[in-house]
Amino acid sequence: MADALTVVKIGGNVIDDATSLKRFLTAFASLRGAKILIHGGGKIATQVAEKLGIQTTMVDGRRITDQPMLDVVTMVYGGLVNKQIVAKLQALDTNAIGLTGADGSTVLAKKRPVKEIDYGMVGDIEEVDSGQIQFFLRQDLTPVFAPITYNSSGDLLNTNADTMASAIAVDMTKHNDVTLVYCFEKKGVLKDHTDDNSVINELTPALYADYKAAGVINKGMIPKLDNAFKALDNGVSKVIICHADQLTAAVGQGAGTTLKK
């Protein structure tokens, strides 16, 4: 039987709030067994860009990444945020190693082709080297990935952290029994975005289609769920979406929204 592995993605407002982030990292450090963390960058990249006089352009919630913005997200995601998280995990007795997809050639991508929108230096994932990630795990290291990948020409690329978490989780199923957990500032997928207690406890592809058609699930939750169901379809044992404060409960007795085939 394959060893259990928990892949956790943290994003949203939790990254921006030191107290919330500390609570989450304490829970993450307490998880038993092998684990991997993938983090977003929150609003910090936008704040740093503003200080540097670099304009931020968003289309449907996705960042347009020209070269100046790529420099900012690399510094913020791959540097500041990543190393702060690694340092905090060390203080919690979790021996973490901070990575981008370029490190150890762990996540190779290609520049997103220009269609209706030119997203700039944004990467679509082509390949994950799960063997290299498994090597880190065997050294009792906890990989902490910033959402930066690279291409075969040696260019860095800004990559959606939800997509990165899904791709890593899927490829790790070659070695492990994988649970994928998306943590953010809501208690799960909600029937009513104004009511944090209106959590949909279980979500199947059929229910997901119904909720989308009714407009109950919309906007930024759609790409998150698309990535989540893709992971489930490609070998991940369990996918959970929950509040960052629910991580321990979600992995244990259950909390948030659990996706089922």
Query: For residue 155, what pLDDT is reported?
Result: 97
- In tens, the pLDDT along 165-216 reads 999 999 999 999 999 999 988 898 898 888 888 999 999 999 999 998 888 8
Residue 120 is labelled as binding a ligand: no
106: amino acid identity, one letter: T
Query: For residue 185, what pLDDT is reported?
Result: 87
Query: For residue 232, what pLDDT is reported?
Result: 93
Q: Which residues pair with 149 in a beta bridge?
A: 157
Residue 158 is labelled as binding a ligand: yes
The total domain count for the chain is 1
CATH code of the domain in which 54 resides: 3.40.1160.10
Residue 40 is labelled as binding a ligand: no
Domain extent, residue 192, equals 3-259
- DSSP-assigned states of every residue in the chain: -PEEEEEEEE-GGGTT-HHHHHHHHHHHHH--SEEEEEE--TTHHHHHHHHTTPPP-EETTEE-B-HHHHHHHIIIIIIIIHHHHHHHHHHTT--EEEE-TTGGG-EEEEEPPPSSS--BSBEEEEEE-HHHHHHHHHTT-EEEE-SEEE-TTS-EEE--HHHHHHHHHHHHTTTEEEEEEEEESSSSSBSSTT-TT-B-SEE-HHHHHHHHHTTSS-TTHHHHHHHHHHHHHTT-SEEEEEEGGGHHHHHTT--SEEE--
Residue 41 is labelled as binding a ligand: yes
Cβ atoms of 27 and 94 within 8 Å: the answer is no
Query: For residue 219, what pLDDT is reported?
Result: 78
- In tens, the pLDDT along 74-98 reads 999 999 999 999 999 999 999 999 9
Collect the ranges in the chain with pLDDT lower than 70.
Answer: 1, 42, 61
Query: For residue 59, what pLDDT is reported?
Result: 81
Predicted TM-score (pTM) of this structure = 0.94
Query: For residue 1, what pLDDT is reported?
Result: 59
Cβ atoms of 159 and 125 within 8 Å: the answer is yes
**The tokens of 24 are what?**
């989450």
